[in-house]
Each structure stands twice: as C-alpha cells, then as structure tokens.
Amino acid sequence: MQNSSESEDPKSESGRRKFLKTGLALTGTALTGSVRAAAPPWMTRPGAPLSNYGQPSPHERAVIRWVAANADAPGNGISWTPLERLEGIVTPSGLHFERHHNGVPQIDPAVHRLAVHGLVGQASSFGIDDLLRYPMTSRLCFIECGGNSNAGWHREPIQAPAGNIHGLASCSEWTGVPLATVLEECGVQPNAKWLIAEGADAAAMNVSIPLDKALDDALLALYQNGERLRPENGYPLRLVLPGWEGVTNVKWLHRLQLADQPAMARNETAKYTELLPSGQARQFSFVMEAKSVITHPFAGQTLPGPGLHQISGLAWSGRGTIRRVEVSTDGGQTWRDATLDSPILPKCFTRFRLPWRWDGSPAVLKSRATDETGYVQPERQTLIAERGRHGYFHYNAIVSSAVAADGSVSHVYA
C-alpha cells in the first residue's frame, strides 16, 4: 500500500526517501534474481556426508610432494615439499619432505620399543604406551636435509620451482617427551659424551649425536601437527633435534646407545662430510645455517603483468631466531627490509613479505636472512670461495630469480 503522506516529487525530502527506498528494493530484487540465476550446482543440492578424516579438495590435487626415487635401490629416495604452493610456516604433515634409505616400515606401536643402553646407570626399554604417559612438550621447528638446495653447487642454475630445489625442508609442531627426561630416568655415566641413535627401518640408519645436544632440546616426538606421526615421518617415534641437519632426526627410533665416542657410521664419514679448499674435511657439521628462499614469485611462473605484487618467502636458522630478511629487486644493488610474520620462533620457519610494484622492466629478485647471532646469509660466490667446488651439503647461499619483461621468472646466478 502506498503511503499517501510521502510526496511523489523526488526533489522533496519525502520524495528522496521514497526514491531511495524504491531504488534499494529494486536493486535488491535484481541482485536476488541474479544470485539465484547464477547459483552454482553445489548450492542447489546437499553436499557430501560427514567423513572420518578430512582430505584436501580435489581441486588442490596438484599440491603434492615431488618424488625422486632411486630406481637402482627400491625404497631409497626423497620427496620434496612444494614450498611455492604453501602459505604460513607450518607444513601439512602429508607434505613434509621425506628421505628414506630403505623404504617406510609399517610398525606396530604395540610391539615397538625404545632401548636405552651403554654408558647409563640402568639399561632400560620403553614401550610407546610408557612414553605416552610421560610429561610432554610441544614446539614448532623446521627439519632440513643436509643435502637441501645442493643444486646450487651446479655450475649452471637449474630451472625448477622453489620446492623442487629447496623443498627438503619443512616445519611442523612436534610434540613428545624431552629426551633429557628419559636419560635422567636411566642415569647417564660421567664418561658418556655421545649418543648413537638408530632407526627401526630396514637400513637400521644410525648417527652419532653429542650428548650436550641430547640434553638440551632433543625431543622424542610422538605427534606432528597435533596428530600421531605419519609413517613416512617416523611413526611411532622420531628423534627431533631442532636446528640440526635432517639425518640426525632419526625416524622410527628404536635404540639409543650412550658412548664415549661417535660410531663413525656411514652418515658421518662417507656422507655428510666435505673436502674444503684447505684439504681438510668438514665433519659433524650439524647446525643448519641461516637461509632464506623466495617462494613467490618462483621459477617457472609468469607474472600476469605490471602492477602490485607480493614477494614472499621463508627464512630459518638452526642457530636461533631470524632477526631480519632483506629483499632486493635490482640484483643486490639496493635492499629493503621485508615484514616478518608472527610468530617469529627460534629454529623455526619465519614467513617474510614485501609489497612490490613491478613496472614491467626486467628485474632480479634476492632475499638475504640474518639470524640472532648476527650471521648473514652469504652470496653464492662467497660460499663457494669458503667451501670450494666439492660441496654437496649445507648449501645456504642467497638465491636469485630473474623476472623478464614478459613476466616469466627464471632461476639465475647473479
């Protein structure tokens, strides 16, 4: 029913109110009709039923680990975290990188035990249920394979997305029993200096760890990102050594032997050692140095055009907290401080971001991390001068990417 008290003259106050009311009503009707007409099929029928365990959308099926298996040794190989496809700092458990020497064992937790022996007051054996009743702690930290980014030692830059070069690094929230708690239960003899940790895989992979680190922040991890460990990540028990090279984070842990000297196993003699220009070899190079990688834009991508873009990436240091990440868009001539997302935690991924207005001209992007010790991520030529041409492990040099005028991004040495 029309309100006879309102004027029909749109120039009057009452007329303007009526015009606006009528216009809004018409606009609402038009929008409602438009929405109804454009309703996608998932708004016209019930969705999928409840599920026992959620799965990623099928539209995200391209976000997967890149597997590089050793055809000559089944079960031996690696898979890479797709860093350029992820955001934040936490790596989903199903995308955490893998390194296996003889496949993934399927271990029954009811029979799996951790033996602690050697230079201890009382040799002991712990079942998983035993460990689950101990006080636990959680911490976010990265794990990085010592061989991550080793393509950087090549004389020519390879062209691959960030994850396929630098994705042997991932970051999770690990929850478990501090190793110090278990060692205190067993008693440590005064002459014990090393801990020999061994996994229950078919390779019985083992490494030697200084006792000081074991008593500092080592964790007997039972959970990853809130759920029990995935088999490929060490189920049911993994040793986590924050900030140290991945090989020391022994998966499927079943034995800890305290000793007065290292085992000199394969992974601390034939591997994870490097001949330096001085003729000496680096050995027991446990700590992963400060590093940063731009994950967007990344090699193989093409920017849609000039305008505002985000430069984003990850930085981390095995020595502590990332204090600063600088970004250059002119090949290192000038640098700007990137914004660091919270939380900024020690021995953990730190997300950095910088808004960049690209004018369409060729550009070279770099990022440079500095940690709380003052250590600055080196340029590639500096790292090679220090470490020589025989490097394979612990490559942490600044990474450069070229953006061409057509927006295509490539990996370069600059």
DSSP 286-306: -BPPPEEEEEES-TT-B--SS
pLDDT of residue 24: 44
pLDDT of residue 11: 45
Cα 366 to chain centroid distance, Å, stands at 19
**In 103-193, beta strands by DSSP E:** 113-118, 124-127, 137-144, 169-178
Alpha helices, H only, 95-191: 128-132, 162-166, 179-186
| pTM, 2 dp | 0.89
Residue pair 230/100 in contact by the 8 Å Cβ criterion: no
Residue pair 363/402 in contact by the 8 Å Cβ criterion: yes
Own/partner pairs for 109-115, CB < 8 Å, 24+ apart? 109/235, 109/236, 112/200, 112/236, 112/237, 112/254, 113/254, 114/182, 114/220, 114/237, 114/253, 114/254, 114/255, 114/256, 115/254, 115/255, 115/256
pLDDT of residue 70: 84
Cβ contacts of 355 within 8 Å, gap of 6 or more: 308, 309, 310, 311
Residue pair 249/240 in contact by the 8 Å Cβ criterion: yes
Write out pLDDT tens, residues 27-45. 444 445 455 578 999 999 9
Phi, psi for 233 (deg, rounded to 5)? -105, 10
Q: Is the peptide bond before 297 cis (omega within 30 degrees of 0)?
A: yes
pLDDT of residue 267: 87
d(CA 162, CA 57): 23
Could you identify the residue written with the tokens 């090679």?
384
DSSP category for residue 33 = H
Low-confidence ranges of the chain (pLDDT < 70): 1-36
Give the three-class secondary structure for 164: helix
Residue pair 158/79 in contact by the 8 Å Cβ criterion: no
As a whole number of Å, the CA-based R_g of the chain is: 28
